[in-house]
Structure 1
Amino acid sequence: MEKQLFIVNEVRTNNFNDSQVADKIGALWEEAKQYQQENQAFYGIYMDYESDFSGDYTVRVATDYQAFLGADTIAIPQQQYHVFPVENDVFATWQEIWKLPFDRSYVFDYEEYLPDGSIFIHIGLKA
């Protein structure tokens, strides 16, 4: 069964051609803080890829807690994922992922921020 998430907000950006990428993503997370509840997970969702990690994509922040009435929902699709635990820095982990020779699907990737403080990056793989 697909996990349903409630979308807080979204933005379209690019890792290499948008000088405001960090500010845009940071603003999404700042907005999400107002909906934070105890024992709640948050998700950074990466989808609608123009090509690969070097092209434009949409990033959404979502939660597994219905933060507000009328929130749009999104489901984590069933596909094979390679999961990376984040040791210190999310962006540094992404930079390491970009160097790896995975056969990525570029359909749906996500960061999972758990209530215990642990963070995992899930990279969608081609079947």
Structure 2
Amino acid sequence: MKLYVYKTVRTNNFEDKDIMNKILGMWDSFYKNNDDYNGKVYAVYYDYESNYKGDYSLALCTEDILADKFFEVDFAKSIEYKCAGKDEIITVWKRIWEDEEENKIKRSYDIDCEEYKKDGSVVIHLF
């Protein structure tokens, strides 16, 4: 599946004091310019400097708003973590990091993705 890039930011979970402004600004821009959009939105993590402690790039993507840059993903090849809603995302990411530290999962740090579903749930895909 192709996920077309709308906008990207570069950040760090632990060192970037402006992380929330960058991420929320990206989301605000998307919905300001696509206020009637009702498809799925994806947050794609890529270009990792090292692991979850290092810098990375984050892109907002869709399946149907075409753009020059895109990611090719195969969700069947991912490890999934499910969130009932947006409020659980940070908690689930912390669980992912704990699972990684405890060697319960192995991550490639090539690409990861949050899939925002129409029912409000979110699936985090680790590749």
* TM-score, length basis structure 1: 0.84
Deviation at 1:92, TM superposition (A): 1.3
Distance 1:65 1:78, change over 3 A: closer
The alignment status of 1:61 with 2:57, answered yes or no, reads no
**Any residues of structure 2 matched to 1:75-90 within 5 Å, and which?**
75-78=71-74, 80-87=77-84, 88-90=87-89
Counterpart AA for 1:76: E
Superposition CA RMSD, Å? 1.7
Q: 1 CA distance for matches of 2:48 and 2:4?
A: 21
Aligned residue for 1:116? 119
Identity %: 32
Given that residues 4 and 73 in structure 1 are in contact (C-alpha distance below 8 angstroms), is that contact kept between their aligned partners in structure 2? no
Match of 1:21 among 19, 41, 45: 19
| Structure 1 residue 23 displacement after superposition | 1.3
**Alignment gaps of 5+ in structure 2:** none
Q: How far 1:64 moved relative to its partner?
A: 1.4
**Segment drifting more, 43-52 vs 75-84:** 75-84
Segments of 4+ in structure 1 off by > 2 A? 75-80
Does the Cα contact within 8 Å between 2:2 and 2:73 map onto a contact in 1? no
Whole-Å separation in 1 of the counterparts to 2:51 and 2:92? 17
- TM normalised by structure 2 equals 0.84
The offset of 1:78, in angstroms, is: 4.1
Q: Larger deviation: 76-85 or 109-118?
A: 76-85
State the shift of 1:72 in Å.
Answer: 2.6
Determine the C-alpha separation between the residues in 2 that align with 1:95 and 1:28: 22
Size of the alignment, in residue pairs? 118
2:91 matched residue in structure 1: 92
* Whole-angstrom distance in 2 between the partners of 1:65 and 1:77: 14
